[in-house]
Structure 1
């Protein structure tokens, strides 16, 4: 009898895939076996109806399973009796997918709420459809012995479930119960702390919620790290958390018991409700209702980051709290999130009053993901828990044999491994300028290299030689080719790859708007129009080149950008003659203008940049927002967008501020010129025009200019597709205006959803550019030279 060998790759390990295969094979009367191997799940089958098995398998997939490839080969071996699930193989190279952590499923949630169930109120309940995965894995393939559950021996009940193919906990590696699994406890932190003697684990669950309601700050060791929690309706507690954590203005994330509670302080659409309730359970940015919560939760912003409970422990704590709870990362501001018990005691004792800890180790730090629903689609802004490390399939035309490592950028760092036709993007790690984050990135890279048995032949880095990620990539090279990819080309390439654009497709117009990235002419770019494909690009437009007086200081202090932009064409004499009655004139009069002018004139610590991010900083400062300094990246622009008056968005088009599009030097590439915008904006300030109207007119005017530039370029080049990327496109208003404007002109628009538009997705673009170039070049020196072209 001829059989078949099916090799299945994708998210098929640790998600109940093998029991599904077992049940389906028995139902169809097929003989054979199924096992996890280093190359994925291997199924051997004999019997009638083999041809229909793949289709029926796709239809019967468990909740978390995802098939990326199913290969069928004939098998001449003799069939066994019956069908069996056999032990995993640990030999060979890693080709299976490592599964992300998943939020508590409805079945487990019902169990912990049912006093007649074995796991009633057990805070670590899970099954094959939910629970920890990546956060506890230490090796591959994914089995209990290679997770941090290895020290916990199964009791008789759990062992029976684990061994029963008909049970939803069959081979659920983190399975446990109150008799045999991890435990929680509460400790008092700070000077003179004495450990709390709990009556029982159940009492500690209630006590944690009680302490939050009583105004305390509690450190809670969760799934992928520690959270700091307090009552979000308690303004004093929120202010105290800000003071202790050293987080002056950046918004706090919130957690609420259910959608009903969320709707008491936020607007929630159907798509947003689906995002909140999905297995990824990310933080979702929602429009806040006026005065529903203290302003200190998200100062100056109109959106709140909200998530629902995603572990049994959080469900149990929140069940008796009918109000939102701050649930922010457990760390002093700017540092990586704590993951260990002793680390929590050492680093958070000056922040939290109490700590709720447990004894299941966190193998891999992973922060909460952040998403927003724009134009009807969930779009990832920070890719971490629930999403990483799921791979993204490479588009048609890319080599499946090549292995590439891409190191990402300096900010919002992620790295990307390419192997077997997949781009495996790491979780968000943060800014590499922080030494602890840099060390965490190196540790994670070692972990991914081990998990995926990765041996890159090419390493991709950013073009900027001073980026720590670039330096780390070159240090790792060891003689292997290093391809330096221009920052904005990488942004656009990431968008193309996510959207499945084939390798040999026609070039697109890429619009990359962000803070800054090194251009191939040695200046800082940040508002770029590139005609490009994966292999090459041509810069065909930009935002206006303007000096950054003070260099890095101009990124932190928006008033410097306001001064530079106003002086770039208008000059002080015109500014003083027409606008000396404004508050901004008085403020800039008090600034060290002579020093700034000298810096700009000599180019000393005043690099020229086409940054769209700094354009927004200038506009926000001129309007009176975030004048002195930004407490976090993008604060001025976020406040400016949040200030928009919705009614002003319906004004006639000619009320939008008038950006023009001249040529650089009268004969170079076109650029977006804001001079007339500043005159109109300052005129509106003289008329005491509300800031909401000013913000609306600026956004509409800039979007119109971007669309006009795109229309001009695409008409000249016969391009029909535009790709939008870069962190500025996280501005939902600008993104929607540009997207609609381009589509109205008959252009196909590609944008980000599964990968961040910001630098968190940069590594994917670096990886595909490096792979595309290496597939067409023969020598390392050619690769290096092409990198900066």
Structure 2
């Protein structure tokens, strides 16, 4: 019997070769009908024998590699007769629910063309197809068609148009399709904007070999490049960029080159070669052919592989490839802005005329127990949505101040933005506002609720308050550490309740003090603080974050230690400020305890980037050391399961070992192990008091693999189920997801006591 069926496919099905796949499948099965993109995804009509239609529906669930099917719905239609199957023009009406693909690394087929002297795209820096290339960074609107991308100004030549319209070609309806005759053009310009003659790639390589700094226009913005083995070149880049200590990432041409730089596990190799192509933090090999200035004093190295044809052409040896900006600024992505901001850093610009619509930094990941542990979720992963409980109104969660992301959530989907950065200057805040506007338009979401951090001075909070007042929208304030735990729950599609452990630098607590070493009983609707580090003063407020030695003074270490001698000019004054409590707000921060230990051990008295002291302390720790300082939980005055942790006792143990001549790597390891044991001790106590058997670990401290491994192993040994992050970062980059999950949950359930 002949039937006709209408099929709605939702998910990431635009810009990934899905319509050509549907066309080929229908033709193979002898079905008539059509397929088109629209604002909701893809709509298909197929007509033919009932058995063939049923087979079509089964095989539809095995789509091309970049496609992600969320839902397929069908409805019967009247048979029309006739034959042929067509890809028809996209529908423009209806509510926007279509998803946009992430940018994807160059596929093997395109690489073969790039390297084939007989191919018309040989050496062409913009080769792509339905299986790879730019997506999110060039999309201006949906549905995903060429007019709604930054490829719109480039009219296809006859050859490209023939491929685009040929159902048998892998570029059939590939929206960024182009070639040297009709596509973007690569040029090399000097810092004054003058085009340099000759082959741009060849000239750029020569500049790098001579020790120069090159600005390179990538997928999501400009990078700054220098030869990674050239000490003078890397040091010059570091000086020009005003980046004193923070490690640079390296792009290696291939896996054999990576293996010369770092030890490589299978899971790390899989991430390096994935379509997302993130920066992967690896264990640096002794004697690796890298300039010391690439990652001073760091035994790890951030490495990525080429992910665009331009990179494959340019990178013949490891290059430093760092964001095109000055420290603390957003990455430059518009040509004029890049020229103005980078002209005093770069000696030349390798650029092109295809606009970047959305600036998007490289993603950064670590591997923990064979799984991805995100440090920064951005290019290659965004804007793929995460699942959250359905129901409730549309939510815009505005995120935290540091490592900001925002999140739009509706209909069971949460769209966590690309990495915005630290909202501490106008340029980054403008990038935040532009990003929110783009996401709302792209995904057709009009927020009905605004979620935010309660800290009144965060620019993200001020944005939420002002927008709520302008549009008369309700606000949901989500305490910082509850948002961390909620982010871990949402990351694992769990609703709680759990024993939540949130260890980070600082976040405003409900009592007006600065929290950061917290044990919570939490679900998505509420939380109760049941344990924490005993608060100590934060002498000078934010100054103490920039000067970790102040935390050593605040914790009362003896003034005959080297840390006091190194800072003798201000030591007594800072101690007095801490005792008086004026300009020294109390904090229970675990991050600040790490700072104090780092200062006592002489690792870092002053920092040049957020979290530096803790990062370098982890690098100093001997991972072979298994012993730990003892941890103790003191009953809180209110009884019950509540407790406080005397962090000063841990620091005292560090001091005693230091005075006894114990090597710094051993002391650092014992402290890390103690923090892991503290997580276990607190969680076990709370399990005994509440019966809860699941622990969720979140906050920037849990990017530290030594602490994380010790904590997870100990918790599992005690029979607890452990939730850790694997899709959004445990740091503040995941806060917006937690805020959104809490705001959604509170609209459909009463807050937990």
Normalised TM-score (structure 2): 0.97
Aligned pair in 2 of structure 1 residues 544, 300: CA closer, same or farther (>3 Å)?
A: farther
Determine if contact 2:497/2:523 at 8 Å carries over to the other structure. yes
Determine if contact 2:190/2:196 at 8 Å carries over to the other structure. no
The alignment partner of 1:698 has SS state of helix
Which one of 438, 444, 463 corresponds to residue 447 of structure 1? Answer: 438
Pair 1:132-2:134 in alignment? yes
Determine if contact 1:370/1:383 at 8 Å carries over to the other structure. yes
- 1:147 Cα offset (Å): 0.8
Q: Which runs of 5+ in 1 are unaligned?
A: 568-574, 650-654, 778-785
Distance in 2, matches of 1:79 and 1:696, equals 74
Moved more, 81-90 or 127-136: 81-90
Distance in 2, matches of 1:287 and 1:145, equals 45
The alignment partner of 2:625 has SS state of helix
Distance in 1, matches of 2:650 and 2:749, equals 45
Determine if contact 1:703/1:737 at 8 Å carries over to the other structure. yes
Corresponding position of 1:782:
none
The alignment partner of 2:550 has SS state of helix
- 1:72 Cα offset (Å): 2.0
Pair 1:550-2:522 in alignment? no
Q: Deviations over 1:181-202 (max 9, x none)?
A: 000111111xxx4724423xxx
1:44-193 alignment, distance < 5 Å = 44-47=45-48, 48-49=50-51, 50-59=53-62, 61-76=63-78, 78-189=80-191, 193=192
Pair 1:720-2:697 in alignment? no
Pair 1:394-2:377 in alignment? no
- 1:657 Cα offset (Å): 1.2
Q: Deviations over 1:646-694 (max 9, x none)?
A: 3323xxxxx4112211124585831222333223211221222211111
Corresponding position of 2:395:
404
Which one of 709, 729, 736 corresponds to residue 763 of structure 1? Answer: 736
Pair 1:486-2:479 in alignment? yes
Distance in 2, matches of 1:223 and 1:56, equals 33
Pair 1:380-2:377 in alignment? no
Pair 1:240-2:236 in alignment? yes
Q: Deviations over 1:84-129 (max 9, x none)?
A: 1111111122101111110000000110000111100000000000
Determine if contact 1:3/1:79 at 8 Å carries over to the other structure. no
Corresponding position of 2:43:
42
Determine if contact 1:659/1:675 at 8 Å carries over to the other structure. no
1:493-504 alignment, distance < 5 Å = 493-502=486-495
Corresponding position of 1:780:
none
Distance in 1, matches of 2:282 and 2:61, equals 34
Corresponding position of 2:719:
746
The alignment partner of 1:566 has SS state of coil
Pair 1:632-2:609 in alignment? yes
Q: Deviations over 1:150-208 (max 9, x none)?
A: 1111001100111112211111111100000000111111xxx4724423xxx211211
Aligned pair in 2 of structure 1 residues 589, 337: CA closer, same or farther (>3 Å)?
A: closer
1:345-494 alignment, distance < 5 Å = 345-395=339-389, 398-399=390-391, 402-477=393-468, 478-494=471-487
Distance in 1, matches of 2:65 and 2:473, equals 41
Determine if contact 2:533/2:644 at 8 Å carries over to the other structure. yes
Distance in 2, matches of 1:707 and 1:453, equals 44
1:635-650 alignment, distance < 5 Å = 635-649=612-626
Which one of 648, 660, 674 corresponds to residue 632 of structure 2? Answer: 660
- 1:31 Cα offset (Å): 1.9
The alignment partner of 1:491 has SS state of helix
Determine if contact 2:386/2:413 at 8 Å carries over to the other structure. yes
The alignment partner of 1:140 has SS state of coil
Which one of 494, 500, 525 corresponds to residue 535 of structure 1? Answer: 525
Corresponding position of 1:195:
194
Determine if contact 1:493/1:769 at 8 Å carries over to the other structure. yes
Distance in 2, matches of 1:745 and 1:315, equals 49
Which one of 299, 314, 317 corresponds to residue 317 of structure 1? Answer: 314
Distance in 2, matches of 1:73 and 1:211, equals 61
The alignment partner of 2:515 has SS state of strand
Distance in 1, matches of 2:73 and 2:701, equals 42
- 1:544 Cα offset (Å): 2.1
1:696-735 alignment, distance < 5 Å = 696-735=669-708
- 1:277 Cα offset (Å): 0.5
Q: Deviations over 1:45-101 (max 9, x none)?
A: 222223333331222x11111111112222235355222111111112210111111
Distance in 2, matches of 1:556 and 1:709, equals 29
Which one of 610, 632, 643 corresponds to residue 588 of structure 2? Answer: 610
Determine if contact 1:152/1:181 at 8 Å carries over to the other structure. yes
Moved over 6 A (4+): none
Corresponding position of 1:775:
748
- 1:346 Cα offset (Å): 1.2
Corresponding position of 1:620:
598
The alignment partner of 1:520 has SS state of coil
Normalised TM-score (structure 1): 0.92
The alignment partner of 1:227 has SS state of strand
Determine if contact 1:657/1:676 at 8 Å carries over to the other structure. no
The alignment partner of 1:423 has SS state of strand
Corresponding position of 1:565:
555
Which one of 236, 246, 249 corresponds to residue 250 of structure 1? Answer: 246
Distance in 1, matches of 2:322 and 2:525, equals 41
Which one of 566, 571, 576 corresponds to residue 587 of structure 1? Answer: 566
Give the CA RMSD over aligned residues.
1.6
Corresponding position of 1:305:
302
Distance in 2, matches of 1:340 and 1:183, equals 16
Aligned pair in 2 of structure 1 residues 194, 527: CA closer, same or farther (>3 Å)?
A: closer
- 1:589 Cα offset (Å): 4.6
Distance in 2, matches of 1:197 and 1:412, equals 38
1:209-224 alignment, distance < 5 Å = 209-224=205-220
Determine if contact 2:537/2:587 at 8 Å carries over to the other structure. yes
Distance in 2, matches of 1:314 and 1:544, equals 50
Distance in 2, matches of 1:670 and 1:219, equals 53
Aligned pair in 2 of structure 1 residues 532, 646: CA closer, same or farther (>3 Å)?
A: closer
Distance in 2, matches of 1:79 and 1:328, equals 58
